[in-house]
Structure 1
Amino acid sequence: MTVSLSPHQFDQLLGSHPGIQCLSLDCFDTLLWRDTHSPRDIFHGLPGISIIQRSSAESRARRAAQLNGRGSEVTIADIYDQLLPNADRQEREAAIEEEIAAEARHCFGFAPVVQLMVAAKQRGLKIAVVSDTYLDSDQLLSLIAKAAGQDVADLIDHVFCSCAFGKSKSGGVYHDVLRKLKLPGNAILHVGDNRSADIDGVKPFGVNTAHLAQFANSTEQRLRLEAAIDRMIHPHRAEKVAATLPHRAALSIAEPLAESPAERLGMTLLGPVFCGFERWLKSEAKALESANGGNVHWCFLMRDGHLPMMVHSLFGKDENAHALEISRYTAVAASLTTEKALQRFIEQNANLDPFILARQLLIDEEQIRTICADLPPAQASQALLRELRTGQRKKSIIRASREMAERLIAHIANSVRPKTGDTLMLVDLGYNGTVQNRIDGLLAERLSVKIAGRFLLLRENDRPGLDKKGFIGADHYDAFTLESLCANVAVLEQLSTRATGSTIDYEEDGTPVRQGNEIKETQSATRDAIQAGCLKFQAFEETATIRNSAELDLENWRRGAANVLARMMFLPTAEELNVIEQFEHDVNLGTARTTGLFDKTIAHRGLRKRGLFYMNGSERMYLPAEIQGQGMATRLSLLTQRRFGLPLTFGDMADATIELPVIFADSKEAVPQLVTATNTHDGFFMAAIPVGASQYSVALQFGALFEYFELDSLSFHPVEEFLSLTPDDPRNEQPAEPVLDGIEKAAGRLMHCQNEAGFMMVSPPHNPDGQQLLLACVFRPTVIRKAATSPANTADVESGQPLAATEIN
């Protein structure tokens, strides 16, 4: 009988097979695991040899073996004979040693299997390793010792390699294994991860078998996507392996124990990211202590520093770890202490909502209402800017800012109690390091300390010259990669924060004053479960691997964390989004306003109207979540655009058109023209039809082309806005109500054109400002009446005018 077990169930295995005399183990992905997604990813780390060259040489060696009647199993020497045909024996042997060394650097013992081996020895069982591999028994045993330690290798009594017998486990090598072991099949328990090889290939010989279930199907998919992301954000560098996923082993143990989808999300996403971040922070703190002297205080900036601090606390109480309640709002408010600083801030943020800007400038609510009254946003902004030019207003803001700075200093001094010469290591999720930019000089001067910002993700908008670093930052990634990762950080913020309002002020003694929190209790409960999953992952990661080397280097953890983070940023799964679909994001600029984290209906609408061009300039908070379900091609297109900063336009993305007959009519004449409709998404087309300053009615002659079509939307837009790189604001749309002639509604949005003359008449909207408008018609052909064969006489969208009647043939 074959059992399938998750790693945490291995302690039950030997007890259920009391009569066995030998424990037989598969090697790779059972006893030895790799830090990479697949075995061939190791080949990226071979000096002077590409993954394609190494893989191709192995294929050629296997074909040669088959042609010569030796089966498909080969040795690593056979492979390198093909790979380096003109090299001498010494060169080939050196290259083989390089490959085995690369394997040793990225292989480790899987702790549950090693514990099974120890238990087997305690029961007096023999242990055999049976592996489908091109390594011989000496090479494989040496690799086990180098990767997992000599203590693990010493537990093994026999090693059997497929290349020595010319056949794999699926090819019947276990017949030879039984002969060598001199045991009947029922006296052996074989454990392996590959059902075809380790179960179907071994069980026919009467051997007891157990299947190691490494991952659920959903986990395998996530890991594949992370490996794919690795190709996108980590271009190959010499002697660096590909698809580094150091969290695989811990996930295999932890994920089956997740108590809810929310906890699973925390394990699989936040667990690996913050595991790597904590390791890096420890190395940075050690380096700062060595360079600066004094104590290094870990200052976790709340609220987003909440989860990193929880992870840090798992490793023991640290008197130098502190929770500082410094929000972007209070940091900015404490930095406007000079007229120059105030003027610079106003110049950089004049486009903010006037009410938010005024609150950031510490103007009280009653005065804000007096200044902005009931004015429209544009006029309110002008009124506020006029007020800010007055000397009295500048003085009051500067005075209030200096008072805020005193209260902020009191908060830090009472929370940290630093000594002269200590270092405050500000820890946050990051992105731009705005808090440090604003208060670095203030803290250094007033507290006589050094300041260092250490962030999970850092892409600076300018070069302030401060001591700032990112675990994922400019030292390792180009600007477009960092920009793409920062485009969707709202989801990471909401998963990492705590259920309190943002700090908006301090009492005189430094006690934080918090904004009211509008986030729903259900969101807080879900977030708590997600964070619990993250913390559980840390415990499993500590015990999942057995390495002969000290530990995996930080570069691999950085790459693994970046892969996981980017995968969630751009390729979230439906299960993950179900966990957070009701999440709201608080704006955190002195206001309690919240907004939904994502809304799939908006993306669905934008794609149909603008196609992939919608994504090119969209500033949605979590756009990849909104386009989940629109196909992998759509999601990869967004990732590619953002990752490489591709300068694509609407025209570049459209590759099919329909010439739609349209009649333009005003009070004097009716002019027929052809308007080019361009494909957008999911079979839909969009026709942008200019109607001038509302002087033209248009008749869309769908009956000439289709018997049936689906009408998605009809709406008027300002031409200038519609042509901009940023997709139009739906609030500026004006829906159009058509009058049907020879067309009837068949069902829902499906329209039936009763004859070739069927058309849809649309009258222009009221337009008191005289804006140049266009009518956007989004439709999908369903049943074609005939192909449009007339030459394209397209309307002049830029001018907002149709072509003159004399230009029509």
Structure 2
Amino acid sequence: MNDTILADALPTALDGQPGITILSLDCFDTLLWRDTHAPSDVFRALGSPVLQQRIWAEQRARTAAAVRARRNEVGIAEIYAQLLPNATPAERAAMVAAELAAEAAHCFAFLPTVELMRAARARGLGIIVISDTYLDAAQLGALISDSAGADVRALIDRIFCSSEYGLSKGEGLIGDVIKELGVRADTVLHIGDNRAADLVAGRAAGVRALHLKQFTATTEQRLRLEAATSAMIHAGAASNRNSQPHRAALSIAEPGIDDAAERLGFTAIGPVLHGFARWLAREADALRTASAGQVHTLFLMRDGYLPRLVFDAIEPNATTHAIEISRFTATAASFATEADVLRYLDAETTTPARVILAQLLFEPQEIAVMLRALPERNSHAALVRTIRAGPRMTRVLARSRACAERLIGYLRTTIAPAPGDTLMLVDLGYNGSVQNQIDPLLRRALSVTVAGRYLLLREQDISGFDKAGFIGADNYDANTLDAMCGNVAVLEQVCTAAQGSVVDYTADGVPVRAVNAIKGGQSAVRDAIQRGAVHFAQVADRPIVRSAPPADPDARRSAAVATLARLMFLPMPEELAVLDNFQHDVNLGVGDTVPLFDSAVAQRGLRRRGLFYMRGEERMYLPAELNGEGLAVKLTLLAHKRFGLALKYADFIDRTITLPVLIADGRTVETGTVTATPTHDGYYIAPIPIDDCRFSIGLQFGRLYEWLQVESAVFMPVDRFLSDQQRAGLEEVAGVPTLEGMEQTAAHLYRCEDAGAFMMIPPPPRRDARAMMLAVVFRPIAARADAPVRPAQSAEQVR
């Protein structure tokens, strides 16, 4: 017999159950659900200090009841007697009322359960609720009415609470209820979400019982990780920041989604963009109230593609436009004066010259000529001089004015704004760069007001423009915004349209697009993700039955932040399988792409540099590379980014290895030691200076180990090794070792025959005047029994 029922099957649970006269339901997480992760999260509404005190008080009350009355169940009055030992009865009653009000604000009836109750009523069945709770029947009935509505409460004939009977369902409450009702046990069907308390205890009492399986194990883990992420992101926030209003929709629809990409869209992208869309609708209403003209809702392509689909799904009567203004075209149209050009050049000192010249609208043959003339050193300064020389600056300004005219013509053709209208530019964010470039042009050319509304906004200067972010500085500090902006590319790639980025406009207002650099396979996966996100928006609110609107309309913001941050920093393996091989196109008009993540590169980087390998890497979703490296590493990265911790490599060093070495210059051989420091997963790195490539280095591993792994031995310039922008493989030369008394038994695995065994690595040919070093990464496997024991050095000694 199947003893489990899924949420979407609840309305038909009575089918195939002949002889039932009473439908018995658990209350919490069966009839009433909370929009938070855990029941105790509701206590946050009582105030930050009370939260933990309320939990402790319940623990003390249960201990006292067990000792004094040999019962495990307590009432809420007993809990508040422990919480407020010196308060008056009136003060305690006020606090109890406050908790019940908080519960009512965060509870809702689960629609499939309500539909089951209505089906039971239509069959003439009685309906009861049996709940393990510290509330009494009157309090629980009032809570159901206050949160779900009087009509839902009216469906229930009687309520039975463990606090009034002094025993839980697992201790026999269901059997006592059956006796009190005077009915045959096998005519009762009991359904609840707790397998032990509802299914096992129900069958022990003789009733027919079903276990409501809310979520799969994977979903439970994902929600648990979202709650953990939320705790870190919202650390110190007094308000309820562990909201999960998407739980009900996940329970109903996720089990029916077989495609992994669509499931990713439904479970992770959908809740984020649904919250964003709800916020956008409120922002548009506010702009209409403040504007004398029409408000045009313009989703900037390409990243605004999926946000628009989600918005249209929840606001089907609203008029929106897909507007193709890229960072490239907005910048190209913004050069009204030479000062504008120079300001752009000042901000692009690390951008490749070919990208800069393309942005300034030079033709390919012009770019080729200028690139050939640039010196290797101080090339940016030379580039600026080249652009300012002769007629080139005049050419840039003229082409920019022409581009601006074409862009404005495109807007007139597409939306025909009237003077005094408001253009609400919608984008993912995160600096509002398009608005920064185009805002003055739009106001000047069209006599309109411009308002930018972004999913994620972290302005890098005070622009003075009308900007707001669903996730922005009004609600989150700079460290949190920085942490999320650093990985926003994963969201960009699933939100974008399957087309090339706009690079120009024709004279009659048609966008001219670059060739789409993304492969068709990625586009197909992205389409499935987008279907899932839109599906979520369509069903997100359906399972929720409330007597009034949510008390906190911004709860979806904190839930969206937790969901997005969890995807960014603690992605699930099946999510990464969907995103594997995704490329990110940099959208600068040059068709460049970079991988979102590369786990193989990450593993090498971790072994060679620990988490600091991420500095200087071009890939756009680096936390995803930590899958398989353990939760501790992932949480370390999240904490480091979320709190802006000023940690250095030396702070991660809690032990070192003193490695004996031989230093040979072809005439003499000297002995010495180097200090190897830990990186990751038991590996160490030994950096050994070799000056101008005169020295061969012998690593006397046999003195310390019988077995070890050698991950790598590479030469590189000292300044590259010490750079914050060190990048794997950049300016590296692989060492070619010879073995003396060492045997390689497998890839990277070596056995040292005796204490005299060593690995000799000759220097590479000298390339330039920079000082060089050898970096050897190894992992001890088996220490030599008679190896010298040396005390570990502190981080200060290492420095």
Shorter-chain TM-score category? over 0.9
The AA in structure 1 aligned to 2:175 is: H
Between 644-653 and 781-790, report the one with greater CA deviation.
Answer: 781-790
Between 3-12 and 252-261, report the one with greater CA deviation.
Answer: 3-12
For residues 712 and 662 of structure 2, what CA distance do their matches in structure 1 show? 19
What's 1:141 paired with?
141
What's 1:802 paired with?
none
SS in structure 1 of the partner of residue 170 of structure 2? coil
TM-superposed CA distance for 1:377, in Å, is 6.4
What's 2:45 paired with?
45
What's 1:495 paired with?
494
For residues 741 and 631 of structure 1, what CA distance do their matches in structure 2 show? 37
What's 1:237 paired with?
237
SS in structure 2 of the partner of residue 72 of structure 1? coil
What's 2:270 paired with?
271
The AA in structure 1 aligned to 2:580 is: E
8 Å CA contact 2:656, 2:793 repeated in 1: no
Say whether residues 1:595 and 2:594 are aligned partners. Answer: yes
SS in structure 2 of the partner of residue 340 of structure 1? helix
Between 313-322 and 425-434, report the one with greater CA deviation.
Answer: 313-322
SS in structure 2 of the partner of residue 109 of structure 1? strand
For residues 766 and 457 of structure 1, what CA distance do their matches in structure 2 show? 49
For residues 615 and 69 of structure 1, what CA distance do their matches in structure 2 show? 59
1:643-682: CA deviation from partner (whole Å, max 9, x where unpaired): 1111111110111211000122224532211101011111
Instruction: Give matches, 1:163-312, under 5 Å.
Output: 163-238=163-238, 240-312=239-311
TM-superposed CA distance for 1:40, in Å, is 0.9
1:589-642: CA deviation from partner (whole Å, max 9, x where unpaired): 011222221100111011100113324665531111111111101111110111
1:684-710: CA deviation from partner (whole Å, max 9, x where unpaired): 111011111212211110010001100
What's 1:553 paired with?
552
For residues 787 and 568 of structure 2, what CA distance do their matches in structure 1 show? 42
Say whether residues 1:15 and 2:48 are aligned partners. Answer: no
8 Å CA contact 1:2, 1:199 repeated in 2: no
Change in 2 beyond 3 A, CA 1:376/1:637? farther
What's 1:527 paired with?
526
Between 630-639 and 377-386, report the one with greater CA deviation.
Answer: 377-386
For residues 333 and 551 of structure 2, what CA distance do their matches in structure 1 show? 42
What's 2:769 paired with?
770
SS in structure 2 of the partner of residue 612 of structure 1? helix
8 Å CA contact 2:423, 2:448 repeated in 1: yes
For residues 151 and 783 of structure 1, what CA distance do their matches in structure 2 show? 72
8 Å CA contact 1:262, 1:526 repeated in 2: yes
For residues 792 and 132 of structure 2, what CA distance do their matches in structure 1 show? 63
Between 486-495 and 311-320, report the one with greater CA deviation.
Answer: 311-320
For residues 432 and 316 of structure 1, what CA distance do their matches in structure 2 show? 26
For residues 10 and 64 of structure 1, what CA distance do their matches in structure 2 show? 39
TM-superposed CA distance for 1:726, in Å, is 2.9
SS in structure 1 of the partner of residue 59 of structure 2? helix
1:352-379: CA deviation from partner (whole Å, max 9, x where unpaired): 1111111011111111111113978657
8 Å CA contact 1:358, 1:384 repeated in 2: no
Say whether residues 1:358 and 2:343 are aligned partners. Answer: no
For residues 48 and 758 of structure 1, what CA distance do their matches in structure 2 show? 62
Between 669-678 and 640-649, report the one with greater CA deviation.
Answer: 669-678
SS in structure 2 of the partner of residue 488 of structure 1? coil
8 Å CA contact 2:274, 2:537 repeated in 1: yes
TM-superposed CA distance for 1:236, in Å, is 3.5
What's 1:434 paired with?
433
SS in structure 2 of the partner of residue 768 of structure 1? coil
The AA in structure 2 aligned to 1:144 is: I
8 Å CA contact 1:60, 1:82 repeated in 2: yes
What's 2:94 paired with?
94
For residues 265 and 22 of structure 2, what CA distance do their matches in structure 1 show? 39
1:299-351: CA deviation from partner (whole Å, max 9, x where unpaired): 00000000011112224555631110000000000111211110000010022
SS in structure 2 of the partner of residue 468 of structure 1? strand
What's 1:461 paired with?
460
8 Å CA contact 2:616, 2:727 repeated in 1: no
1:77-113: CA deviation from partner (whole Å, max 9, x where unpaired): 0101111111110011101111111111111111110
Change in 2 beyond 3 A, CA 1:259/1:69? same
Instruction: Give matches, 1:340-355, under 5 Å.
Output: 340-355=339-354
8 Å CA contact 2:420, 2:448 repeated in 1: yes
Instruction: Give matches, 1:75-114, under 5 Å.
Output: 75-114=75-114
1:35-93: CA deviation from partner (whole Å, max 9, x where unpaired): 11111111122136432211111111001001013411000001011111111100111
Instruction: Give matches, 1:242-641, under 5 Å.
Output: 242-315=241-314, 317-318=316-317, 320-373=319-372, 381=380, 383-551=382-550, 553-615=552-614, 620-641=619-640
1:513-566: CA deviation from partner (whole Å, max 9, x where unpaired): 000012111111111111001111112213110011124533200000000000
For residues 360 and 517 of structure 1, what CA distance do their matches in structure 2 show? 18
The AA in structure 2 aligned to 1:320 is: T
What's 1:3 paired with?
3
8 Å CA contact 1:372, 1:383 repeated in 2: no
8 Å CA contact 2:742, 2:750 repeated in 1: yes
SS in structure 2 of the partner of residue 349 of structure 1? coil
8 Å CA contact 2:241, 2:558 repeated in 1: no
Q: TM-score, normalised by structure 2?
A: 0.97
8 Å CA contact 1:694, 1:770 repeated in 2: no
8 Å CA contact 2:626, 2:633 repeated in 1: yes
For residues 263 and 418 of structure 1, what CA distance do their matches in structure 2 show? 37
Aligned length: 798
What's 2:779 paired with?
780
SS in structure 1 of the partner of residue 218 of structure 2? helix
8 Å CA contact 2:22, 2:187 repeated in 1: yes
1:131-168: CA deviation from partner (whole Å, max 9, x where unpaired): 00000000000001111111111111000000111110
TM-superposed CA distance for 1:386, in Å, is 3.0
SS in structure 2 of the partner of residue 130 of structure 1? strand
For residues 757 and 448 of structure 1, what CA distance do their matches in structure 2 show? 83
8 Å CA contact 1:455, 1:469 repeated in 2: yes
The AA in structure 1 aligned to 2:388 is: R
SS in structure 2 of the partner of residue 250 of structure 1? helix
For residues 708 and 113 of structure 2, what CA distance do their matches in structure 1 show? 61
Q: TM-score, normalised by structure 1?
A: 0.96
Gaps of 5+ in 1: 800-809
8 Å CA contact 2:713, 2:777 repeated in 1: yes
TM-superposed CA distance for 1:177, in Å, is 0.7
Over aligned residue pairs, what C-alpha RMSD do you find?
Answer: 2.0
What's 1:646 paired with?
645
For residues 694 and 333 of structure 1, what CA distance do their matches in structure 2 show? 48
Change in 2 beyond 3 A, CA 1:424/1:478? same
For residues 714 and 306 of structure 1, what CA distance do their matches in structure 2 show? 47
What's 1:58 paired with?
58
The AA in structure 1 aligned to 2:34 is: R
Between 8-17 and 345-354, report the one with greater CA deviation.
Answer: 8-17
Q: Percent identity?
A: 49
The AA in structure 2 aligned to 1:570 is: F
8 Å CA contact 1:36, 1:243 repeated in 2: yes
Gaps of 5+ in 2: none
What's 2:116 paired with?
116
For residues 703 and 324 of structure 2, what CA distance do their matches in structure 1 show? 66
Change in 2 beyond 3 A, CA 1:793/1:561? closer
